[in-house]
Amino acid sequence: MNQIKEITPGSIAEEMDIEVGDTLLSINGREVKDIMDFIYLCHDAYIEVDIQKTNGEIWTLEIDKEYDEPLGLDFTNPIIDHARRCSNNCVFCFIDQLPKGMREPLYFKDDDSRLSFLQGNFVTLTNLKDDDLKRIVEYGISPINVSVHTTDPDLRVKMLGNKFAGQIMTRLEYLISGGITINAQIVLCPSYNDGPALEKTLLDLMTFYPKLESVAIVPIGLTKYREGLPDMRPVVFSEACETLDLLGNFQAMALKKIGTRFAFAADEFYIQAKRPFPDDDAYEGYIQLEDGIGMVRKLESEVKDALQVIQSTASDRRQVLIVTGMAAKPYLEEIVSHITHQYETIECRIQGIENTFFGPRITVAGLLTGFDLKSQIKLDSNDTCVLLPDSMFRSGETILLDDVFLKDLQDYFKVPFYKVPVDGESLVAYILNGGTNE
């Protein structure tokens, strides 16, 4: 499990002739059981590292370095240990709503604080024993993203389907008192944790500020595959309005009391409520951007800024097709108009794709599949390339949820396809340069 996948060029590991394929055995005589052990044991300025070479030899390396200086090792398994499977039975679980026949890793439910630290995954804290909590504090594993959903003990037990879920406030208090920084998430489920229950949760969590830095409120996502699952419904117009009104009152109070708005709503609430997005300043640095908090507003601001810096000398006419989810389509049209207004030789078409794979209630680009792209993209004879947001793809790769690759789409449509980072500078660069970011 401790096999080394990559060596950072110029690192201590490279200097010590550690190689890809070698295995890390121990540090300072202690077995490295997981990534938490590795990070903690590497802190000291002097360490002794046992490495097993690919030929079976055992090397003991004495290393003098700066305190906290990394060794420069990446492992085949990022957390070294097996990821911990979720023990909850949440009424809103998205993985339970996946259709059969998808690749096996998609069905794995993780609830692992180590993945929260490394990759930003959210954990519920129900899967941790007291010793696990103590180790997080001892090792200073921070920040951690926690799926809170509600601070009401009985309601949380009901929503998570776990008899231990009601201990959330006690566990948060323990971690925070131990110096751990936390960001929280609430998946809002109508008739469960909205309204007064939401207000109570926000007020309870605010007592942990500043170590609990922020709260993201996201709406429940429902696919068409819910046979045998609890009867749940999506957030509707009136509920989105009520939630934003409640949040607005809370933010005003929090801003006066603790100097921050503290809690933020996902873009979907503003879309559903047909309300304008808040200004840049209202997102306070976009601390919960990965949860879809402020993505549209940030993209628009970045595009405007990029147009002041990026200059294009291209005078040839070109037409670019940008593909996205149904929710973002009208907003992306407005954002892209800033580019085409400045560059009259460039035309951009925006096509929203309906999610027939998961169902029409799933409207975000990140859950679109190759099947829907192949069946719905309508090319114009003047389209020179197609741009897709990188949120559609597995992180760091070019594969979609249903194992369709970017190259497969390009071969199918006989036109260049590009995976574009979801930021304004990249979007402007790809459009102005005809499908490249150079």
Q: What is the pLDDT of residues 327-353, one digit of tens each?
A: 999 999 999 999 999 888 889 999 999
Q: Is pLDDT at 283 greater than 80 in this prediction?
A: yes
Contact partners, residue 370, CB within 8 Å, separation at least 6: 400, 401, 402, 403, 404, 405, 408, 409
Structure tokens at 287: 């601390």
- The CATH number given to 298-432 is 3.40.50
pLDDT band at residue 79 under the 50/70/90 scheme:
low
Q: What is the pLDDT of residues 140-188, one digit of tens each?
A: 888 888 999 999 999 999 999 999 899 999 999 999 999 999 999 999 9
Q: Is pLDDT at 372 greater than 60 in this prediction?
A: yes
Q: Which fold, 4-75?
A: Pdz3 Domain (2.30.42)
Is the fold of 4-75 the same as that of 298-432?
Answer: no
CA distance 36 to 22: 20
CA distance 404 to 408: 6
pLDDT band at residue 118 under the 50/70/90 scheme:
very low
Residue ranges of the alpha helices (H) in 34-179? 35-41, 113-119, 130-139, 153-160, 168-177
Local structure of 377: helix, strand or coil: coil
Q: Is pLDDT at 311 greater than 50 in this prediction?
A: yes
Give pTM, 2 decimals.
Answer: 0.81
Helix axes 295-309, 329-342, angle to 10 degrees: 10
> Where is pLDDT greater, at 5 or 1?
5
Q: What is the pLDDT of residues 180-237, one digit of tens each?
A: 999 999 999 999 999 999 999 999 999 999 999 999 999 999 988 888 888 999 999 9
Q: Which fold, 95-292?
A: pyruvate-formate lyase- activating enzyme (3.80.30)
pLDDT band at residue 394 under the 50/70/90 scheme:
confident
Any idea where the domains of the chain sit in the sequence?
4-75, 95-292, 298-432
> What average pLDDT does the structure give for the chain?
87
Residue ranges of the alpha helices (H) in 5-89? 12-15, 35-41
Residue ranges of the alpha helices (H) in 265-328? 267-273, 295-309
Q: Is pLDDT at 110 greater than 80 in this prediction?
A: no
Q: Which of 65, 57, 113, 68 is nearest to 86 (CA)?
A: 113
